[in-house]
Structure 1
Amino acid sequence: MATNKELLNSSKAPEPVGLYPHARRVGNLLFLSGVGPRERGTKKIPGVELDEQGNILSYDIEAQCRAVFQNVRYILEDAGSGWDSLVDVTVFLTNMKDDFATYNRLYAEYFQDNQPCRTTVEVSRLPTPIAIELKCIAMID
């Protein structure tokens, strides 16, 4: 990390779907771009069933939550940070009514020891057929 403003990409997290890095370091802060549950090297989304036109037929919010938390962890670790260094998490859900209870239960499981600030909002859709995306800020040494 030679510069004060450095773009970082993980070798384990799914590739970005646009022209942006996985993360950017500014000083001792690491800003993550929106992270979804996709698997690296594929368009596969854990727990999602799509029709031939790419519309969502069904999805498993628990599988997506676990996958997105893992992808965040990959980015943090590849950037030299870690899960316990998260200080702020913004969560975008496409179905707050049906998915919030499961998401909130899993969030409590994953963030039991580290409790960053959190904002959760419902959005009508995300850029790919996913039900959850996280935007995070972490400390980095």
Structure 2
Amino acid sequence: MTHFVVGYAKILENDLTAPQYFILQTLAAAEMRNCSELAGAMDVTLPAVTNLTNKLARKGYIERIVSETDRRNVYLRITDKGREVEARMIERYKELTEGLWSDFSEKEIDLLIASFEKMIRNFPIKS
């Protein structure tokens, strides 16, 4: 469902791209991450993540934290402003999808989830 939400990022918040929202969402769920971890999670290059995080930092949605033990290590952390945006995105997503599942039985939802999980397992991975 997380990937479904990310796909709506551009619709929900004009100044946020789906990859930027993915970063916000990841940082909202974790205390801190570095750019390498985010690049791995997103399957993009380190320069791409640096570019995305620079934009988020300029908007005040994330902040950089330099490691006290090794100044070469820089971590990213979501700010209060970023948490507000992330929470607003979730609420807007809920509004957009309200009633979407109301006509589905529990059995139909379980079948849909199982089908998507099977589809994802069979999806060819590009290297």
TM-score normalized by the length of structure 2: 0.31
Q: Which has the larger radius of gyration?
A: 2
With the length of structure 1 as denominator, give the TM-score of the two structures.
0.29
Higher helix share: 2
Higher strand share: 1
RCO higher in 1 or 2 (8 Å CA, sep ≥ 6)?
A: 1
